Amino acid sequence: MNNRNKKTQCVCCVYMNDGKKKDQILWKAQNVPQLLTAADIFVKEVNVRQTTVEITLTYRGTQASNVWFGIGFGSQQMIDTYGIVYQPVSGTLESKFEEHKFGNHTTGTTLPTSFLYRNVVVSGSATTVTVVRPVTISGDNRYYSFAFNQSRATQVQIPVIFARGTTQALQSHGTTTRGSGSITLQYIGMKTCFFCLSYVPIF
């Protein structure tokens, strides 16, 4: 991403450097970073905006570095669950990220990518990945929908599954490096920006 399109954030809004306003965060993950112990994965951010969702994970690599890892949303079982997988294989940045509709203990169907943004930062044995995708994928229920109704509840629990492998490319994760849990999202509401005192880079 060049400097002209670099994204910045002020106190309550997100802007492009050309002054165009970007969606504000409506729902934000609480109690993060949250460690998914069995897979050695930190959930660092889940930010749901009006039209996009930003997900950031860090695999610590304390037991095995340079291996695939991933997370699934909407279920605590693998079958029929939407998942995001990072694979440190050679090739383009785009080829390292996949979206799946998992099967019964299988990789299931590889979905057409919905990602609008991808980023990878490797520091020692740790790998941090960030993806941005639309909140919903119109007409395709294979993708998890992050569209929540704050009039019903201002806090939602998302069941998740997670795993890491022993290889670079996606393969079986075995029984000791996977698990399930939940992520709590809090509705933080719409805010009105009149001006910003300072900007900081995001993504």
pLDDT single digits (tens) 49-82? 999 999 999 999 998 889 999 999 999 999 999 9
Percentage of the chain exceeding pLDDT 90: 69
Q: What is the pLDDT of residue 110?
A: 97
Q: Is 108 domain-assigned?
A: yes
Q: Is 65 domain-assigned?
A: yes
pLDDT digits (tens, 9 = 90+) for 28-53: 999 999 999 999 999 999 999 999 99
Rounded to a whole number of angstroms, the distance between the first and last alpha carbons of the chain is 10
Q: Is 58 domain-assigned?
A: yes
Total domains present in the chain: 1
Q: Is 172 domain-assigned?
A: yes
Q: Is 19 domain-assigned?
A: no
The CATH code of the domain that includes 132 is 2.60.40.1190
Contact of 185 with 29, CB cutoff 8 Å = yes
Q: Could you tell me the pTM of the whole model?
A: 0.82
Q: Show the domain range for 152.
A: 26-188
Q: Is 101 domain-assigned?
A: yes
- What average pLDDT does the structure give for the chain? 86
d(CA 57, CA 130): 7
- E-state strands within 17-103: 21-22, 25-29, 34-36, 41-49, 52-59, 69-73, 82-86, 97-101
